[in-house]
Amino acid sequence: METLALGMRWESERPHVLVAACSDGRLQEATDSFLSRALGVRQYDRLYLPGGGGALSASGSDFMRAAEVRRECRFLIEAHGVEHLILLFHGPAAGGPAEAVCADYRRKHSWQRPDQVRAQQEADVRDLLGRRAEFSGGARLSVYRFEVTAAGGLQVAPLHVDEPALRR
């Protein structure tokens, strides 16, 4: 098997941003674009898993999974010296297509309509803010939801953003 040279150098300096995002590949380019254009983040550690930021929440029946994801997130924060944690959620905007509901939320809350999932995500964010010490350490915390509009466009709604100097 041939080795492929990438023509790039390895960076020994770690990024100080961790992004927890859903593994849904339909949002990959939008995630990179949003982080780069809106937040100026080009290099970041990634925690990609079903549910993204919602995977840290104990809503639904996966409370043990959520506790483990919070432990893994805290490990990365401490081991990599993360200063800013960005949690990303996704789903349909009000009136957006039901197929944009996050598959992890569909699994955990299969009986909920898209508007109820949106409300559940917002409740999960409030819950996570109350238990942030479990997963974010002293990192600044920002939470956003990617929303698919009825016309198929993408927009990003802030759900929580710490002030830049805020440390917990």
pLDDT digits (tens, 9 = 90+) for 69-108: 999 999 999 999 999 999 999 999 999 999 999 999 999 9
| Residue 97: closest CA among 114, 119, 116, 118 | 114
- Confidence (pTM): 0.93
What is the pLDDT at residue 163? Answer: 83
| Residue 14: closest CA among 46, 38, 40 | 46
Sorted by where each starts, the structural domains of the chain and their CATH numbers stand as: 17-161 (3.40.1050)
Sites in the chain below the pLDDT cut of 50: 166-168
